[in-house]
Amino acid sequence: MAIDDLIQDATRRMDKSVEAAQAEFTTLRTGRASPALLDRVQIDYYGQQTPLKQLATINAPEPRMLTIQPFDPNSVAQIERAIQESDLGLTPSNDGKLIRLPIPQLTEERRKDLVKLVRRYAEEGKVAVRNVRRDVMRHLEELVRNGEVGDDEERRGETQVQKLTDEHTARIDELLKHKEAEIMEV
């Protein structure tokens, strides 16, 4: 049935929106060292923008320290520069082979900035979910206009899509609540 296909597609796309929001949350610094902090860092490696995790091993040997061991020792300077230019606000130090990245304690002001950023990411995720809902509603209207389904089936489909939308926005809100608590934790 066409409506069931639309619902399955909507579920898949909404799940991806939630996963994308969650991935954005993991790249934010919370005061604890996590290799996921560096997921967004791109290095200009021989003229090619390359993710840091493809060029080095990233470890968290201590709660407030990340170590980056490049596979190519010649790339240490580029990696260090890319980290300094990123929006992470971290200062790397290296010994020629290994880059140490101390994670400083977050200030109250920085915590509030991060909470604003997390809320923006959450809102972007919710907007993506609502866009999926809008697309599906438009497709349902087309099916009715083309005479493929009746009004009752359309209403049933709209109710299912609204329920899916509510569930997915609630999941994003839950992720947001946890991330805010993690950021504000001293």
**Residue 186 has what pLDDT?**
64
Which of 166, 159, 172, 88 shows the shortest CA–CA distance to 125? 172
Q: Are 154 and 140 in contact (CB under 8 A)?
A: yes
Q: Are 156 and 3 in contact (CB under 8 A)?
A: yes
Which two structure tokens, joined as six digits, stand for 98? 């290994």
**Residue 41 has what pLDDT?**
86
Which two structure tokens, joined as six digits, stand for 37? 């902090």
pTM of the model: 0.73
CA 65-67-72 angle, to 5 degrees, is: 165
Question: In angstroms, rounded to a whole number, what is the distance separating the alpha carbons of residues 95 and 104?
Answer: 20
Question: In angstroms, rounded to a whole number, what is the distance separating the alpha carbons of residues 121 and 185?
Answer: 20
Give the pLDDT of the chain (186 residues) as one tens digit per residue: 688 899 999 999 999 999 999 988 887 767 677 888 888 888 988 888 989 889 999 998 888 889 999 998 888 888 888 888 887 778 898 888 899 988 888 788 888 888 998 999 999 999 999 999 999 999 999 988 988 888 888 899 999 999 999 999 999 999 999 999 888 876
Residue 67's SS3 state is: strand
**Residue 40 has what pLDDT?**
82
